[in-house]
Chains A and B, each alone.
Chain A
Amino acid sequence: MGLAACDNALNPTLVRATGCSISGDLKQVTAFVPASKAAALLQCVRQNGRVSMVFSKPTTYRTVQLKGRNAVVRGLAEGDLDVVEAYRRAFTREVGQVGFGAAHVEALLGCADDDIVGISFTPDEAYDQTPGPKAGEPLNAAP
């Protein structure tokens, strides 16, 4: 999963996320990113709160994008590190099927716990980005 933002001069930036959680009321998404790799992105979020987040499953290429306008940077809450750890384990299982080992995932996603920050936003747009005829179509909530 990855997160993009842009500054007020319309310069985009992006970072790979290392897990995300969804609030109990299903209205808010929090992406976890290493601050050391996301300095520019955090600055953009603080400037205008607009983010775009992509989720893709490496074994099926199913891809979804969410957009939000009210993103805020926040510290970790209780249980957030468990979410990050669970994501890394799941990601290791997933990419293990396409030939990458645990050491690869550790090199890609590993960082100090105190480096991780959360970016919380309310998605107000969602799109299917799976390669194919429906790519780019808005995702609508089930009636």
Chain B
Amino acid sequence: MNLQIDAIRECFEGVIPASAATCSKDGTPNIAYLSQVNFVDNEHVALSYQFFNATRRNIMDNPCVALMVTSPVTMLQYRLRLQYLHTETTGPLFESMKAKLAGIASHVGMSGVFRLLGADVCRVLEIEQLPGEGLLAPPQKRNLLAALRTCTERLAACADLDRLLAQTLDSLREYFGVRYAMILMLDEPGKRLYTVASHGYEASGIGSEIPLGHGVIGVAARERTPIRIGHMSVEYGYTRAIRDNTRDSNLANALETEIPFPGLAMPCSQLAVPILAGPQLLGVLYVESDKDLSFSWDDEDALVSLARQLGMAIHILQSTADCGEEEPAAAVAPLAAAGAPVVVRHYRETDSVFLGDDYLIKGVAGSILWTLLHDYVHRQRTEFTNRELRLDARLRLPDVRDNLEARLILLGKRLVERNAPVRIEKTGRGRFRICVSCPVQLLDTSV
């Protein structure tokens, strides 16, 4: 095969519908349009199976398929000879096609009509480019490989997690032209992801949460596969994810004001890429756009590679975070904070922390803050190390693999955003202090 499938992937973006020819056992040909052809690898594509129709009946009897696809860029046509292999009804390929189909359905006014029953995986036996002049492809806006190389080098130079996350988002904007992006980390026992960095939005949304399996981000995390949608889809929007999240909240959660998710209200293109370190899911890198079809297969490849680099970098930083050899910073004696005291309320069930009447944070980050303030009030301590926190039984950290640094970044950012009288200040690798600017009164309670 001279022409590789990955060289004609623009034909599979759904701009010009593909058509498939099949043939029954008695030799009756059938021709039908397909909602979606998905690139699997250079030997396979998957066809969307939505209805039990003649195409479906035919391929069950006779696995030979002829597929016609057209490049929306050059208008060149390609005829593919396929052999049907099997159908997937769960898993990463199915979920990725299901999400894409939801976008396509919404775009063509077929929401509720188009429903993916399966991903029909086919081996590609031959690709034939049909004769024709074809239009000249316009020059690419940017070279994605060069962008990826620069970003990778920049990520490698980051010495701490906070810098690494910021650099990732800066690089996406500068080298990939991505205006809206966020990074979410996995809270494994909570089966949810929390936003730890974002750019492009009016409110940062730091601390907002997405349950696993909800929306583009939640599905990408659950299936550990990129999810890319080229058109607005209500089904995969996170407005709904958040609504469901709120609906499912228990009484303790209901006391809080959920931190609003920062994303666009009507994203036209969405791409969520899992951040993995080896097989372990660390979080999700999410980008979106207010224009249709903003992210191509090549963009997806680039971001998957970038997220892989990010995952490895997070993993390395995490494994070295606690073994800093720097001298501890000179301890600063806690100042006797003056002024009206702030009442810090802690709800044990959810580790939710309120400053006065304002909700600040919950979960592991809430538990960390409560522990720090407890030691500040009762032991006059201000200097802490990541290592002691990791070992502190009071925190009930979910797992040794849990990213404590990410929780501290989240907490630090929330304190700044809420203009809290408590701040976290890094004093060295694996060390930090808390700065408290008014008297603190602790109130431990349950709902």
Q: Are A14 and B19 in contact (CB under 8 A)?
A: yes
Q: Which of B35, B110, B114, B134 contacts A107 (CB 8 A)?
A: B134
Q: Are B32 and A65 in contact (CB under 8 A)?
A: yes
Binding stretch for chain B, among A20-28, A44-52, A80-88: A44-52
Q: What A residues does B79 contact at CB under 8 A?
A: 13-15
Q: Which of A3, A11, A108, A131 contacts B23 (CB 8 A)?
A: A11
Q: Are A37 and B77 in contact (CB under 8 A)?
A: yes
Q: Separation in Å of the B70 CB from the closest CB of chain A? A: 7
Q: Are B28 and A12 in contact (CB under 8 A)?
A: no
Q: What B residues does A5 contact at CB under 8 A?
A: 21, 29
Q: Which of B25, B62, B64, B113 contacts A131 (CB 8 A)?
A: B113
Q: Are B68 and A136 in contact (CB under 8 A)?
A: no
Q: What A residues does B31 contact at CB under 8 A?
A: 2-4, 14, 52-54, 65
B interface residues, tally (CB under 8 Å) = 40
Bound-state Cα–Cα, A50 to B28, Å: 7
Q: What B residues does A37 contact at CB under 8 A?
A: 77, 130-132
Q: Which of B21, B68, B81 has the most CB of A within 10 A?
A: B21
A103 at the interface (CB under 8 A from B): yes
B54 at the interface (CB under 8 A from A): yes
Nearest B-chain residue to A54, judged by Cβ: B31
Q: What B residues does A50 contact at CB under 8 A?
A: 27-29
Q: What A residues does B51 contact at CB under 8 A?
A: 135-136
Q: Separation in Å of the A138 CB from the closest CB of chain B? A: 11
Q: Are A54 and B134 in contact (CB under 8 A)?
A: no
Q: Are B21 and A108 in contact (CB under 8 A)?
A: no
Q: What A residues does B53 contact at CB under 8 A?
A: 135-136
A132 at the interface (CB under 8 A from B): yes
Q: Are B108 and A61 in contact (CB under 8 A)?
A: yes
Known: A2-B31, A131-B114, A135-B51. A108 touches B75 (CB 8 A): yes
Bound-state Cα–Cα, A135 to B135, Å: 34
Binary per-residue interface labels of chain A (24-38) against chain B in the complex, 1 for a CB within 8 Å, 0 otherwise: 000000000000110
Bound-state Cα–Cα, A44 to B35, Å: 27
Q: What A residues does B23 contact at CB under 8 A?
A: 6, 10-12
Known: A107-B75, A135-B53. A52 touches B21 (CB 8 A): yes
Q: What A residues does B70 contact at CB under 8 A?
A: 108
Known: A14-B68, A132-B113, A136-B53. A52 touches B28 (CB 8 A): yes
Q: Which of B30, B68, B133 contacts A110 (CB 8 A)?
A: B133
List which A108-138 residues lie within 8 A (CB) of chain B: 108, 110-111, 127, 129, 131-133, 135-136
Q: What B residues does A111 contact at CB under 8 A?
A: 132
Bound-state Cα–Cα, A52 to B108, Å: 25
Binary per-residue interface labels of chain B (113-133) against chain A in the complex, 1 for a CB within 8 Å, 0 otherwise: 110000000000000001111
Nearest B-chain residue to A2, judged by Cβ: B19
B297 at the interface (CB under 8 A from A): no
Q: What B residues does A133 contact at CB under 8 A?
A: 113
A140 at the interface (CB under 8 A from B): no
Q: Are A67 and B28 in contact (CB under 8 A)?
A: yes
Nearest B-chain residue to A104, judged by Cβ: B75
Nearest B-chain residue to A9, judged by Cβ: B64
Q: Separation in Å of the A79 CB from the closest CB of chain B? A: 26
Q: What A residues does B114 contact at CB under 8 A?
A: 131
Q: What B residues does A54 contact at CB under 8 A?
A: 19, 31-33
Bound-state Cα–Cα, A14 to B135, Å: 22
Q: What A residues does B75 contact at CB under 8 A?
A: 104, 107-108
Interface residues of B (CB under 8 A from A): 17, 19-23, 25, 27-33, 35, 51, 53-54, 62, 64-66, 68, 70, 74-77, 79, 81, 108, 110, 113-114, 130-135
Interface residues of A (CB under 8 A from B): 2-6, 8, 10-16, 36-37, 44, 48, 50-54, 56, 61, 63, 65, 67, 103-104, 107-108, 110-111, 127, 129, 131-133, 135-136
Ordered by A's residue number, 18 sampled pairs between the chains whose C-beta atoms are within 8 Å are: A2-B31, A4-B22, A10-B64, A11-B64, A12-B22, A12-B23, A13-B79, A37-B130, A37-B132, A50-B27, A52-B28, A56-B17, A56-B33, A107-B132, A108-B70, A108-B77, A108-B132, A131-B114
Question: 7 shortest A-B CB distances, which residue pairs?
Answer: A4-B21, A107-B75, A4-B31, A6-B23, A14-B21, A12-B21, A52-B29
